[in-house]
Structure 1
Amino acid sequence: MPRKKVVFIINNFVVGGVERFSRDLWSHWDHQRIELIVISVWGSGVLVDSYRKAGIPVYWAGSKLVYSSKNPLLKLYFTIIAPLVWCRLVLLLRRLRPAAVLTCLTQADILGIAAAKFCHIPVRIIHQADIKVVHPLVKWLKQNLAVRWASTVIANSAPTGEFMQNYFGASVSKVIVIPNGINLNRFSHISTQPIRVQRPVVGFLGRLEVIKGIQYFVPAINLLKTQYNLMPPVVIFGDGSLREAWEAFAQQNQLTNISWRGEVLQPESALPEIDILVMPSQSEGFGFVLLEGLAAARVVVASDLPVFSYITKSSDIVSFFPMGNPPALAEILAKLIQNPQLLIQLQAKVRAWMIKHGSTYDLANIAQAYQDVLVG
């Protein structure tokens, strides 16, 4: 049986859960049945070499410039050239002649699904990875050029599926839920390590952007100092447009306990340094970092987002605080830092939960579900 070509159209190759997930899916697919090709429409990024090392052909419909949220001119540039990118995308799809097109993130959805429809590719799938309100014009474009012409919308959680129906108007019959997955084996060696209960390290892992909540995390660390007289070691892994401002805030408030580590390509390299992982996100479609933190048996504190309750199946393994509330976050952190026995109990609960539910998010199982949708 000949292999079926699947073209995955993504924005770029920056460090993010979506970009790592799409690369890792390939390692679990049946290579005798599927030939995966990736096309970027919104620039390059540091992960591009890892795609090539995995044996995935990479094409460019747009510029090869490395996209950075720190440079607003880049966003303007990519927006201006979008019509040209769409034309080049059509030419690439006509040449590659895939059996299916899978797109992820808004720009790729709009350009990719519209181009696939124009090229009469029958299987046109949106992988919806976030819950994010967009500009009205962008919303209209995605509704009419992507959602309308997609054959299927894969939502990475039930809350994301509801968002696609309520916000973008996707029909119930189009939307299916396949949760994101991770390679659990990458975290098994970390999960056996006891956390440092006498002096736990508080950590943040993610892009330093508004949506990830760094603007709540650093003030909470400041409140630990000013209101609780606590200065635990803090590590921040990630980069983004807000880094400079919050580094300056930390310096002004003499938060010498914060270490800014920059971007990391693999979360498993950062998580051993963290005992209490904080996810103060404003919005998430799934929450890779939360799942990775649980797989590594870290104690997790997170915003009270519906998707986090969905992932944890409403259990008590995560300490939730009201989204956007640094004082509430600081109060929870103070309680954990000053209670070693509670940390031990929470880590034990996380390990037990992973034994019971971890297979639900095992990438091997998730990859098979994707493969079934793409090529049957």
Structure 2
Amino acid sequence: MSNKTIVVHLIYRLDIGGLERVMLNCINQMEDENFKHIIISLTDANHFSQSENNPIDIYCLGKKQGSDLGIHFKLYKLLKKIKPAILHTYNLATIEYHPIAWLAGVKGHLHAEHGRDIGDPQGLNKKHNLLRKLMAIFIHRYVSVSEDLHQWSINTVGIPAKKALLIQNGINTERFNAPKTVSEQLRFAIVARISPVKDHLNLLKAFVLLNKEIGNEKMPQLAIVGDGEQREKLEQYCDENGLDTVKFLGARDDIAQILSQTDVFVLSSIAEGIPMTILEAMSAKTPIVATRVGGIPEVVEEAKEGFLVDKSDSAALAQGLLHYINQPELILEHGENARAKVLKNFNEKHMVQAYLQQYKALVKG
């Protein structure tokens, strides 16, 4: 193990989410390579999964909310102890730590943008973009997971094109590949953290509109998979509006099983990169109804793998859902198209090889 090159993955919080799954999937798929992966969470680690054959060392620094300058010194000491060859950071919250990593002797630097900040879904915050541009001086490779983010990083942020790299997310297509049948009472599902950027409330408002249009007897089920600070508020909204076909399942590890029992996958986000949950649903032959944001239009073609609607528009989202309620025969057709798209363009092996290639290039210098 001591002969392996160490890669440190710096993340704000290790929790259940698409970004974390991309990171962990890559690490687990690289276990036969000559790299040892270590995860550092700036805050804490609430939940994670890893390969039994490839246990991952995880350090939590306990960063306080807001400015916590002491965390730079904590990270510096830890990096001096670990002696990694590469620092791989994720999203805005971790990008500022590349200079301190240089001081700690880390030679290879990679940053990945998986999605924009919740408070700045369009990525137009001048202060944040200045930070990204300044930190790019210390970064060798600036990865974006969607074409939308890639073009934004170059044209809006000002990342040099020679440093900017597109590596689209990919998934394990064999894990998400169960036989599908369409249920009599349609089953919709959203898998996402219950946070403002996912805009669950907009989806529930769309269900209220559906209820008025088609009546309670024809209403589909909706499984809300995930947890977060807005859950209690959303549960109260369901009670107040009689949405008795909506079920909150909480954070779950059996996503593949849930998707195998889902007819249509829904995502109501106001900002995204390329969501892992959409790729997983598509691999499981599940059509998509989602907002037309971020990298989602790169994955879902209108009326082929699903339907796209404007963000924050509950009436448009309700109409998108109605396509499958009124024409359930489209579910299997679009589901087959969806899996074919993922197999061709979003296979996990391609993603892992792309990151591995970058790690090897950084080690060679």
User: Do they superpose with TM above 0.5?
Assistant: yes
TM-score, scaled to structure 2: 0.89
1:30 is displaced (CA, Å) by 5.1
Q: Which residue identity is paired with 2:205? A: P
The aligned counterpart of 2:66 is 79
The counterpart of 2:276, out of the listed 271, 285, 288, is 288
The counterpart of 2:293, out of the listed 305, 308, 320, is 305
Rounded Cα–Cα distance in structure 2 between residues aligned with 1:216 and 1:269: 26
The aligned counterpart of 1:8 is 9
Q: Which residue identity is paired with 1:159? A: D
Q: Give yes or no for contact 2:145–2:169 (8 Å, CA) kept in 1.
A: yes
The aligned counterpart of 1:361 is 346
The aligned counterpart of 1:215 is 201
The aligned counterpart of 1:178 is 167
Rounded Cα–Cα distance in structure 2 between residues aligned with 1:139 and 1:181: 27
Q: Give yes or no for contact 2:91–2:116 (8 Å, CA) kept in 1.
A: no
Structure 1 residues 102 and 52: alpha-carbon distance in aligned structure 2, compared to 1, 3 A threshold: farther
The counterpart of 2:181, out of the listed 175, 194, 217, is 194
Structure 1 residues 306 and 104: alpha-carbon distance in aligned structure 2, compared to 1, 3 A threshold: closer
The aligned counterpart of 1:71 is none
Rounded Cα–Cα distance in structure 2 between residues aligned with 1:182 and 1:212: 21
TM-score, scaled to structure 1: 0.87
Rounded Cα–Cα distance in structure 1 between residues aligned with 2:300 and 2:105: 40
Matches within 5 A, 1:1-376: 2-29=3-30, 31-47=32-48, 50=50, 54-62=54-62, 77-80=64-67, 82-111=68-97, 113-132=98-117, 133=120, 137-144=127-134, 146-188=135-177, 190=178, 192-196=179-183, 198-229=184-215, 230-312=218-300, 316-351=304-339, 353-354=340-341, 357-376=342-361
Q: Which residue identity is paired with 2:283? A: A
The aligned counterpart of 1:70 is none
Q: Which residue identity is paired with 1:151? A: H
Rounded Cα–Cα distance in structure 2 between residues aligned with 1:53 and 1:130: 30
Rounded Cα–Cα distance in structure 2 between residues aligned with 1:312 and 1:53: 35
Rounded Cα–Cα distance in structure 1 between residues aligned with 2:151 and 2:79: 31
Q: Which residue identity is paired with 1:117? A: W
Instruction: Give secondary structure in 1 for the equivalent of 2:96.
Output: helix
1:314 is displaced (CA, Å) by 7.0
* 1:3-32 deviation per Cα after TM superposition (whole angstroms, max 9, x unaligned): 211111111111111111111111221534
Higher helix residue share:
1
Rounded Cα–Cα distance in structure 1 between residues aligned with 2:232 and 2:88: 35
Q: Give yes or no for contact 2:180–2:261 (8 Å, CA) kept in 1.
A: no
Instruction: Give secondary structure in 2 for the equivalent of 1:320.
Output: strand
Instruction: Give secondary structure in 2 for the equivalent of 1:148.
Output: helix
Q: Give yes or no for contact 1:41–1:107 (8 Å, CA) kept in 2.
A: no
Segments of 5+ residues of structure 2 without an aligned counterpart are none
Q: Which residue identity is paired with 1:295? A: S
1:131 is displaced (CA, Å) by 2.9
1:139 is displaced (CA, Å) by 4.2
Q: Which residue identity is paired with 1:16? A: G
1:200 is displaced (CA, Å) by 1.1
* 1:174-196 deviation per Cα after TM superposition (whole angstroms, max 9, x unaligned): 100111111111112x2x22222
Q: Which residue identity is paired with 2:11? A: I
Instruction: Give secondary structure in 2 for the equivalent of 1:78.
Output: coil
Find runs of 4+ consecutive structure 1 residues off by over 3 angstroms.
49-54, 134-143, 312-315
Identity %: 20
Segments of 5+ residues of structure 1 without an aligned counterpart are 64-76
* CA RMSD after TM alignment: 2.2
